[in-house]
Amino acid sequence: SQQGEEDPQALSIQEGENATMNCSYKTSINNLQWYRQNSGRGLVHLILIRSNEREKHSGRLRVTLDTSKKSSSLLITASRAADTASYFCATDANNAGNMLTFGGGTRLMVKP
């Protein structure tokens, strides 16, 4: 069973525009993480937000977390063609030890 589900499944934007991806989850969590995957490669960690945090920034990335709605969003500002990738949220649920559960991902295409 997948804890997290991303929305939209696919997103296509022009370079310079902002990209917003959403993640919803089902059970209470310790933290939520966002990862990026280039085609055919492993995942790279982008940002971790703890359950007691509401917003976090890292460069052009902004992550929000709403535990009351069990949802998170990832905003990439001023997108570049190099941001083209799949983006996944992952949760570390309170009742699942250290098990990380991933959503289905959002496939982002940034057109030059």
Partner 1 sequence: DGGITQSPKYLFRKEGQNVTLSCEQNLNHDAMYWYRQDPGQGLRLIYYSQIVNDFQKGDIAEGYSVSREKKESFPLTVTSAQKNPTAFYLCASSMGGWMNTEAFFGQGTRLTVV
**Minimum distance from residue 35 beta carbon to partner 1 (Å):** 8
92 binds partner 1 (CB under 8 A): yes
- Select the span of 14-22, 43-51, 64-72, 76-84 touching partner 1 (CB under 8 A): 43-51
* Cβ contacts of 45 within 8 Å, gap of 6 or more: 33, 34, 35
- What type of residue sits at position 94? N
31 binds partner 1 (CB under 8 A): yes
Nearest of 21, 16, 58, 50 to residue 33 by alpha carbon: 50
**How big is the site for partner 1, counted in residues (CB under 8 A)?**
29
Near partner 1 by CB under 8 A: residue from 65, 90, 108, 110: 90
30 binds partner 1 (CB under 8 A): yes
101 binds partner 1 (CB under 8 A): yes
- Measured distance between the N- and C-terminal CA atoms of the chain, rounded to whole angstroms: 37
83 binds partner 1 (CB under 8 A): no
Which residues contact partner 1 by CB under 8 A?
Answer: 1-2, 6, 30-31, 33, 35, 40-45, 48, 50, 88, 90, 92, 94, 97-105, 107
